[in-house]
Amino acid sequence: MNFNIVLQTSSSLTLELENQSCFKSSQPYTLKLNDEIIDEHLVQNVYSIYRLQPSTAYMVTIINEETGESLSKEVYTKKESICLNVKHFNAKGDGITDDTLAIQAAIMSCPDDGRVFIPKGTYATKTIFLKSNLTLELEKGATLLYSASFESGAILPGYTKNSNHEEYYLGSWEGNPLDTFTALIQGVNVSNVNLIGEGVLDGNGSIGWWDFPKVRNVAWRPRLFQIIHSHHVNVQGITLQNSPSWTVHPLFSDDLKFIDLKIINPKDSPNTDGLDPESCHRVLILGVHFSVGDDCIAIKSGKIYLGSRLKRASEYITIRNCSMNFGHGAVVIGSEMAGGVKHILVEQCLFNETDRGLRIKTRRGRGEVAIVEDVTFRHIEMEKVLTPLVVNCFYFCDPDGHSEYVKTKETLPVDYRTPDIRDFCFEDIKCRHSEIAAAYFYGLPEKPIERLSLKDCVFHFTTEAEPGVPAMMDDIPNYCQNGMVLNNIIEVNLENVTFENVIGDPMQIQNVKKVVVDGVIKENYC
């Protein structure tokens, strides 16, 4: 039983077991710190330790409770210039007093490489702005409760122009530069920031933010945690709940880690995506538990206005040892992906009772820069996922979503509005108790999906399945216990792919140039 230290700050660290299991280890373990047992009978692959001292060496030991084998590693915490307690800045933590200014005063007073500590209590706050070279820590039992409203919240303008008439983008709503309220925790142009601890960020979404989700009221709804134009940001251990809209939203940012979080929103809360990196590079999402009202993770890069100007893809994103529950999609790409999405790895994850597992949603109008390529899913377990794999190039979003241009299945000319889907690999995918279809891949006739590869995949259906639509597109019939639906694809490679309790032909193929099943080239389906 090996492990690695994946993050350390001045007062915390996170370890990750090195194995092939999904989210949880098959063998329980005991964790010791400097020969003192701090927890037993652990099974999670990712575990964080808090209340450590800065600039201190610690011996971390894990003991396999079945075999008795142990492994130890020495870890050094980061240095720290000072720790400031928000109570010393007159924060009350009584859930009634507005503590925004007290917490902000502590943050702005903290020197580089310092830590601002929020002890137990409920702190009613409006937006808290981060600054560079800072650690913000919430103690177990500490809650930041978002108290801003449509009347009192600050606003990020969608964009402004400098003296050279260059556009500077800030506010963002569903891929467009639009005015939005600032988040509970907001970072703009910050670097080297840690948000850590065992405390809670509560977005208080039920106080009006969820009532009219598609109506702009002064500005669009806020996020719970948002960083923009930022670098080297780590979020560790925090519970984020009741978000007014998307929960965690990094935008135009690089070198980010989201580790050992709990992201929890009611099932019926509107557009409460879990974690949506948008036009971001080098992102690690590790050991996060999701239970949300929309997509768990949605990787985005804006609509065509921003995509055509910035041409900034989301790329080099790793999602590992996460648990996704009850959302519309577990891992989603789009639909706002006009800047492209590239080099995505999802592995060792559990998907439970989501509508879809992998969900790619795009449409005509996203643009020629909207290239999705090099996406790999491996070592994934799905339970009660209605349709495990979906690539939908006819997603009916936006005011023109039901227009003839978007929905027609006829071949249209390829132009500057046409997106492109390439290179998907699925390996060691185990799906149980699905209902609608194993996979639904439907490309554009004028721009087919280029390559799909599935290896060592099992699709099992419950015999109590109910019919439904596998994808949000017009003119699609209901399916029930169907196998793979493949349409408008250049090449499909299948190796050791099995189906259980499928009704009818497990392969429904149209307009596919090349299908290879266990090394045998099948007929041309065009």
Positions marked active-site: 294, 328
Query: Buried b / exposed e across 396-421, counting CB within 10 Å, b at 16+?
Result: bbbeebeeeebbeeeebeeeebbbbb
Distance CA 110, CA 134 (A): 8
d(CA 34, CA 1): 19
Could you give the CA distance from residue 520 to residue 495 in angstroms, rounded to a whole number? 10
- Per the structure block, which two tokens stand in for 40? 């037993």
SS3 299: strand
Phi, psi of 328, deg, nearest 5: -65, -45
- What are phi and psi for residue 165, nearest 5 degrees? 65, 25
CA dihedral (175, 223, 323, 5) positive or negative:
positive
Burial (0-12, 13-18, 19+ Cβ within 10 Å), 269: buried
Amino acid at 237: G
Distance CA 116, CA 186 (A): 15
In one letter, which amino acid is 18?
E
| Nearest C-alpha neighbor of 354 from the set 298, 294, 430, 427 | 294
Amino acid at 463: T
For residues 321 and 18, is the Cβ–Cβ distance under 8 A?
no
